[in-house]
Structure 1
Amino acid sequence: MADQELRRNFYGRVHGKTLRASQKDYLANDLEPLRLRNLTREENPARTKIDPSAIFETPRPVWLEIGFGGGEHLVHMAAGNPDIGLIGCEPFVNGVAMLLGKIRQANLTNLTIHPGDVRDLFDVLPDQSIEKAFLNYPDPWPKARHHRRRFVTPGYLKELARVMKPGAEFRVATDIPDYVRQTLEEVPQAGFTLVSQTGEGEAWQDWISTRYEQKALREGRHPHYLTFRRA
């Protein structure tokens, strides 16, 4: 296949503010041991499927966070569920650096990271291999012509549905009403059933407020929490 056929459009930030010295240290010394292997075409040119439960020291259920931002939620879930393995995908280098600092401080061993596009992971995950997935404060892409870039579109959701086990839970948190609209329209069409839809102050029992939620509240936007179940 030609190089241009392998290329995907990627929209969104990869780099932000200049990294602090400590963050550069995390990226230089902590990322490689935690980075998920056999995702890139260089490492896995045949796109051979990986067993996510075998990534960790002992086989275990695996959860996925798509776009972990600064890593608050991912670290919180890992610390509260030591028998679960968590995969975090995030292309934004500054967010990856923030997560690595939190992991070092918490001394967690049940996390692995893909510092890139979640579609790389979907390429190599087998069917029905993920038991829970999180999409917290995703890029809103507010302009109508950019709505096709949102995660809650058929291209992403079809692959998410494929890798999730029947009965697996998919959680979405957002402060953008139109993102809620599109989520409610698109996610059920991909094979999920809406379980609950709640608002501010009614998050999941094990939820931790993230920097993006706190920013939304400061700016007068209200959180929405949606729970779906894979059919």
Structure 2
Amino acid sequence: MSSDNDTSNSPTWGPLRSFGRIKSRTLKPRQAALFDTLLPTLAVPDPNAGPIDPQALMPGAKEVWLEIGFGGGEHLAAQAARHPDTLMIGCEPFLNGVGSALRHIEDGALKNVRLHADDARDVMKALPDASLDRVMILFPDPWHKARHNKRRLIQDESAAEIARLLKPGGRLRFVTDWKDYAEWALERLERTPGLEWTADRAADWKTAPEDHVVTRYEEKKLGDTEPLFLEFVRV
């Protein structure tokens, strides 16, 4: 895996890491315990072992949603509670975030969440075509420095992979509070065959959708703009 100072031109949809730290503070005792007790019961099968069948993860699920980089898990858990018949697959490499999500899942007695405590791209590659109803990417690492832009999650290759995974009519929601990343993502998503931007006017990307869940990260207002919401549909 390349270091953060790598200035090569290798594509992001490959060995380059699109996320930052894996762990910061020591896990709280309850969260550490949940890694041993709860996580094994809802972990996504090893994507390197073969294809992943979403229906095998939750038989009878009416829809399948994927959240890439769920942070502390507040949004993932809230959406899972609102949609108990929907399988929620969440991917997050930051172990403290996984620990937080496990706590939310236990507190809510949620049965429709499956987690991958690592790079989402591995799971995406293992999922079949047209297997997802929604993909959600909220506040991904912006990788500000120009030489690090290649590490951004949204690249032409990842956008094409999202289009492959979405069912016809399926939707992608990308949210960022950095103007340059919104422009970067919009440029790549708009030129991806099969994806169509749903916005008609500025309010469509400046106003939070009705089902949006505000997270602790969003409340910190660390970006250079109010959150921008890019919604795409698979056509």
Instruction: Name the structure 1 match of 2:148.
Output: 146
* 1:65 counterpart SS class: strand
Q: Is the aligned partner of 1:208 residue 2:222? A: no
Which of 167, 192, 196 does residue 193 from structure 1 map onto? 196
Q: Deviations over 1:159-200 (max 9, x none)?
A: 11111112211001110000110111001222311112422x
Q: Is the aligned partner of 1:230 residue 2:229? A: no
**5+ residue gaps in structure 1?**
1-6
**5+ residue gaps in structure 2?**
1-13
Displacement of 1:220 in angstroms is 6.6
* 2:52 counterpart SS class: coil
**Alpha-carbon distance in structure 2 between the residues aligned to 1:220 and 1:131:** 31
Q: Is the aligned partner of 1:128 residue 2:130? A: yes
Q: Is the aligned partner of 1:28 residue 2:36? A: yes
Instruction: Name the structure 1 match of 2:11.
Output: none
For residues 79-228 of structure 1, the aligned pairs below 5 Å read 79-191=81-193, 192-196=195-199, 197-199=204-206, 202-216=207-221, 221-228=225-232
Paired positions, count: 216
* 1:198 counterpart SS class: helix
Instruction: Name the structure 2 match of 1:69.
Output: 71
Task: Using the aligned pairs only, state the percent identity.
Answer: 39
**Structure 1 contact 53–60 (Cα < 8 Å) conserved:** no
Instruction: Name the structure 1 match of 2:8.
Output: none
**Structure 2 contact 171–231 (Cα < 8 Å) conserved:** yes
* 2:211 counterpart SS class: coil
Displacement of 1:54 in angstroms is 2.4
The residue type equivalent to 2:83 in the other structure is: N
Instruction: Name the structure 1 match of 2:9.
Output: none
User: In structure 2, do the counterparts of structure 1 residues 163 and 18 end up closer, same or farther at CA, with 3 Å as the change threshold?
Assistant: same
**Alpha-carbon distance in structure 2 between the residues aligned to 1:57 and 1:70:** 27
* TM-score normalised by L of structure 2: 0.87
Q: Which runs of 4+ in 1 moved over 4 A?
A: none
**Alpha-carbon distance in structure 2 between the residues aligned to 1:193 and 1:220:** 26
Worse-superposed segment, 98-107 or 156-165: 156-165
* TM-score normalised by L of structure 1: 0.88
User: In structure 2, do the counterparts of structure 1 residues 153 and 121 end up closer, same or farther at CA, with 3 Å as the change threshold?
Assistant: same
